[in-house]
Structure 1
Amino acid sequence: MRLHFINYRLLPLFSALAASSNKLLQRAYQDFVESDAQTEKVFKVFKMAEPQTVFVSLNDIQS
């Protein structure tokens, strides 16, 4: 049987770490809920440049 010993001096540190992690997770969740893919531009199609119109004259076309 293995006994687990708790170092009580470290409990405040773990408590602060847990509270900080909790706040960060809550903020990340809110960012996720309030954002959308188009606004965040997470997909490649949203990162692409705008379509460009190119003019080619009939004289430039060779058969």
Structure 2
Amino acid sequence: MDEITKIMIDEFEKRPDGSWACVRNSDITTKSQKVIRVTPGMTFKKGRMLWGIDVADTLDKISSN
């Protein structure tokens, strides 16, 4: 499984149901040097793997710091 090495939390918004929605074009970089372009409106829920990564879990961890 890959992991996120770079993500900009200000390009996402946490929703009341705990999911995260992309609010601006965002590039997510992974440990294997993949760059994933995320567009506004894409929603991520914790525990749901996309491209081998859990975007919502990573954003939750960053937001609690």
TM-score normalized by the length of structure 1 = 0.22
More relative contact order, 1 or 2 (CA 8 Å, 6+ apart): 2
Larger Rg: 1
TM-score normalized by the length of structure 2 = 0.22
